[in-house]
Chain A
Amino acid sequence: MRRYVVRKVAVAIPLLFLVSIAVFAMLHTGQGDPVELFVGPTAPQSVQVQARHELGLDQPLVTQYFLFLRRALHGDFGESITYREPVGQLIRDRLPATLLLGGTALLLSYALAIPLGILAAARRNTWADYAITGGALVAMAVPSFWLALLLVLLFGVHWQLLPVSGYGSLSTLVLPAVALAAEGTGLSLRLMRSSMIEVLRQDYIRTLHAKGLNRWRILGVHAFKNALISTITLLGLRLGMIIGGAIVIENIFGWPGIGRLLVSSALQADFPVVQGLTLLLAAAAIVANVTADILYAVIDPRVRY
Chain B
Amino acid sequence: MAILPVSIARVSDQLRTNASLSAISKTQADLLAVQNEISTGKRVNSPSDDPSAAAVIQQLQKTLASRDGYATNLQSATSQLGEVDSILSDLTNLLQQAQTIASANVGSDVTAGERQAAAEVIKSITSQALSIANKQFNGVYLFAGDRSTAPPFIDSNGKIKYVGSPTVLQNRFDENTTSPFEVNGEQVFGALTTQVAGTTNLAPSLSSTTRLLDLGGAVGNGIHAGSIRLGNGTTTKDVDLSQAGTVNDVITAINNAGLPGVTASLGTTGIQLTGTGNLTVNEIGGGTTAADLGILTAVGTGAGSPINGQSLAAQVTPLTRLSDLRNGAGLDLSGLTITNGGTTTTLNFAGAQTVEDLLNSINGSKAGVLARINATGTGIDIVNPTQGTSLTISENTGTTAAQLGVQNFTAATKISDLNGGHGVRTGAGADFQVIRRNGTTFSVDADGLNTVQDVINAINTADGGAGVTASFNNNTNGITLTDSTGGAGALTVSPINASLAAGDLGLLIPAVGNTITGADVNPVQSKGLFANLQKLTSALESSNQSAITAAASGLQNDHDRVILVRGQTGAQVQGLEARKTQLDGENIATKSLLSTLQDTDFTTAVTKYQSLQTALQANYQMTAKALHLSLLDFLG
A-B complex is real: no
**CB within 8 Å of B: which residues of A?**
none
